[in-house]
Amino acid sequence: MLKQRVITALVLLAVLLPALFAPIAWPFALLMMLMAGAAAWEWARLNSASALPALAMGAAVAVACALALLAGWVRVGPSVAWWLAFGVWVLGGALALRVGPGAWHTLPRVARWLLGLAAVWTAWLALSSAKATGINFILSIFCLVWVADIAAYFGGKAFGRRKLALAISPGKSWEGVWSGMLGVQLLAFAWIQADRHWQLANLDSLSLFSVLLNRLGIAGLVLTLVFLSAMSVVGDLVESLVKRSAGAKDSSGLLPGHGGVLDRVDALLPVFPIAMALCTL
């Protein structure tokens, strides 16, 4: 199992890194388009879609991504898309966590499909636009999510006592969430200092942390980072809820040893578009 996970991770990195560090935006956008189509297909299957409709929804999201790429939205992402995603995740995420795994499938199936497809498409657009903004910018958002997850894991292991959502994800604790938030604050402080140093070397872009600091000040930065850390947890919990409701361990078997695409990007789905929305304030 470990060998399989390592091999899959190496293959993914071999494909992802050249696209991410390419001097132009479209290779990364195309790669993310394939992943978005796969994620939409997984979401449809987890929400009671049969084989053909699930494939159709995956293809529809991929086509929507391609049309947005051709329209130039990757370079200048429409802010309405970011705020649409903001609303979907804050309101839809709260609704999903409120009803719980047992009641999730009682919601109208079409509404569940549309929520997921909208979340996947806006996440693709935000990822692609973040890449077009600059490597430093997109890497800072990736690292925010990864540090929040890693710090939450170790903080929960060391200090976890009070369960966050026992019916959805028994391993998560409030102490883990707070540890993740603290880890992100420390990351932001270190990255902002690095931004100030790297500017002397003609850095391609500011990080998300420096952008938020410049626009919102220190208090605004701290609050938005707390919010983004919380939304990464919401993304994780929503995907866990949907899988538990469907009786599935993984979103699919597309990534041997890792499950499916949604299993790997669940925390990224809300954070990227919400980060882009906050950068427009």
pLDDT digits (tens, 9 = 90+) for 142-179: 999 999 999 999 998 888 889 888 888 888 899 999 99
DSSP 3-state of 173: strand
Least confident of 22-26, 218-222, 255-259, 270-274: 255-259
* Domains: count for the chain: 1
Residues of the domain holding 176 = 2-278
Predicted model pTM: 0.93
Burial class (CB in 10 A: 0-12, 13-18, 19+), 77: buried
CB 195 within 8 A of CB 212: no
Q: How confident is the model at residue 239 (pLDDT cuts 50, 70, 90)?
A: very high
pLDDT digits (tens, 9 = 90+) for 109-135: 998 999 899 999 999 999 999 999 999
Token pair belonging to 69: 């790429």
Q: How confident is the model at residue 268 (pLDDT cuts 50, 70, 90)?
A: very high
What mean pLDDT value characterizes the chain?
90
DSSP 3-state of 206: coil
pLDDT of residue 95 exceeding 90, the answer is no
The alpha-helical segments, DSSP class H, found in 47-171 are 51-70, 79-87, 93-104, 109-133, 135-159
> pLDDT at position 110, please?
92
DSSP 3-state of 163: strand
